[in-house]
Amino acid sequence: MSPDRLSLHEVTLVCRTRAGMALTLRPMQESDWPTLLKWNNDPEVLYYCEEEDIRSRTLAEVQDLYRATSEHGLLFIVQHGDHPIGECWIQDMNIPEYQTACSGGLCRRIDITVGDKSYWSLGVGTAVTAELTRFGFEEQRVERIYCCGIADYNARARTVVTRLGYRTVSTHLHPPGRKMRSTADYALSRDEYLARRVAHPSL
């Protein structure tokens, strides 16, 4: 049974896009349901963030999704000023094969959706993914972070993760009739992250 409330936290993160846009990642709240419901009923938004051909969700489905995830991770609303533009989270790894690959070390996975389409292609995804990556390695002290299930047609997401040093660890082919031919999972280890920080201190 899904929890009846979000598991709340007190972490707030800040970052900037390469163009200098200031973003705040503040804790997701129960008061965010109208915004989250709007994004989860936009077929174009869902096209890029869901493997299945989902075009809408009910309020109950939205609440179940985020409340369940909040039991094992930190959920954020991304804001530009006071305006919500997306959501994201960093959660415990929940895919068995990757839990095993960590050999006892801490693993996390990152997911991000820019729900306000007027902010697409402005560097928001890169800035938020970079900040969650930094937070995971430098504050949560994890050993590996994953970005999973990125569709073959989601060029923006693939560019973001590869730009930040994530490498492909698995590709999954989908049967005919699915909206995507394949998805890919990406990972970055703590050692790889630290090496990039030394080589590219401005990242």
User: pLDDT digit string (tens) for 43-96?
Assistant: 999 988 876 677 789 999 999 999 999 999 999 999 999 999 999 999 999 988
Q: Per the domain annotation, does 6 fall within a domain?
A: no
Residue 68 included in any domain: yes
- Domain annotation covers residue 38: yes
| pLDDT above 70 coverage of the chain, percent | 94
Domain assignment present for residue 183? The answer is no
pTM metric for this prediction:
0.93
Inside any domain, residue 185: no
Per the structure, the count of domains in the chain is 1
Q: Which amino acid is at 113?
A: T
In a domain, 134, yes or no: yes
Split at pLDDT 50, 70, 90, the class of 180 is confident
Integer distance in angstroms from the first to the last C-alpha of the chain?
A: 41
CATH number of the CATH domain containing 50: 3.40.630.30
In a domain, 166, yes or no: no
Contact 51/151 with Cβ under 8 angstroms?
yes
E-only strand ranges, 28-131: 73-80, 83-92, 107-114
Tell whether 96 is covered by a domain: yes
Range of the domain at 17: 13-143
